[in-house]
Amino acid sequence: MAENRPKITETPPRDVIEELEALNQVLDRVLPFKKLDHNVLIGTWNIRSFGGLTEKWAASETDTPKRDLHSVVLIAEILARFDIVAVQEIKGNLKAFRHMLKVLGDHWSFILTDVCGGDEGNDERLAFLFDTRKVKLSGLACELVVPNEKIASVSEGAFSRQFARTPYGVGFKVEDKTFVLVTLHVLYGNKVNDRLDELEGIAIWLKKWAADMHAFDQSLIVLGDFNIERKGDPRYEAFTSTGLRVPTDLETLRRTVFDRNSTYYTQIAWFESKDNIPELSFKYLRGGVFNFGPHVLKNRGLSPFQLSWRISDHLPLWAEFSTRC
């Protein structure tokens, strides 16, 4: 006899409904509201190993994976607060991702890469989710690949191989503002110096591309998981070496469910207007992270590690921009 599995489109159990209501009250307090003709909310979130799914409202101790329908509706509730969100660590298995799309609804769309091959690629995809009531694609979608020819000022080894997980650039339009978002998940490596060449190569490539954007009158914003330990370390200096700017109000914020102090893994950054690089087509207002830990799956008594496999080990990072400039 076939198992009668619950569907994510069904009315959730009462405890899930109550938790969603409480979560929304928190989100109303800590995140800006999406306002047509006023702002655009851009987020980035590395959702840990976002692949398989246990089709139960509450996964048991023996179930694998631990991510269940309850977890997916919570993830969708958070993502729905943004106009556009870059998502890293989507796996080759799209089961959880497809269920999440059903929760978000028909006015949400997405664009994503194929899986990255090789051990370092880790069977991962990069994606953008966007609310089509406000956001449109402007036509560009590309993966960033390293050039064959030598580029002046690039240190030896920075372009010795392709990126482990190829950065992904997509053009968007909100009202009359066009811009390109580039998302990436930098190689973590066996030691922190393994990331140095990749971060340097990405920063140099992005500066060159940002200058080229001037011909198209588009802004370029970089966001994703850069695996930078802290401000001022060699990885941070490599990332910012070509002029990428990280908003100062994001500098002291924690990035993961584990850390009491700040790490710089997740970032949102752009270039200052210089060296033929155009200004942003909209004005940065503010940014932050959403620490979902105290507000989700509260009745299960989970450790941060256990929570990370159901929701994520990373916190979503966001930035609000004004479209009225």
- pLDDT value of residue 278: 62
Best CA proximity match to 208, nearest among 155, 144, 142: 144
Domain boundaries, the chain: 14-322
Angle value at C-alpha 258, between 253 and 261, nearest 5 degrees = 35
Walk along the chain (325 residues) and give the pLDDT tens digit of each residue: 346 789 999 999 999 999 999 999 999 999 999 998 899 999 999 999 999 999 999 999 999 999 999 999 999 999 999 999 999 999 989 999 999 999 999 999 999 987 654 444 457 889 999 999 999 998 888 776 655 454 444 444 444 444 555 788 899 999 988 899 999 877 655 565 666 777 777 788 788 777 776 555 678 899 988 777 677 777 778 777 778 888 888 887 888 998 666 567 888 988 876 666 667 888 999 999 999 999 999 999 999 999 999 999 999 999 999 998 7
Superfamily for domain range 14-322: Endonuclease/exonuclease/phosphatase (3.60.10.10)
- pLDDT value of residue 248: 87
- pLDDT value of residue 31: 97
pTM of the model: 0.88
- pLDDT value of residue 273: 63
Best CA proximity match to 296, nearest among 55, 26, 101, 82: 26
DSSP 230-290: STTSHHHHHHHTT-EE--GGGTT---BSS-SS--EEEEEEEE-S-TTPPPPSSEEEEEEE-
Q: Give the separation between CA 183 and CA 96, rounded to whole angstroms.
A: 20
- pLDDT value of residue 200: 77
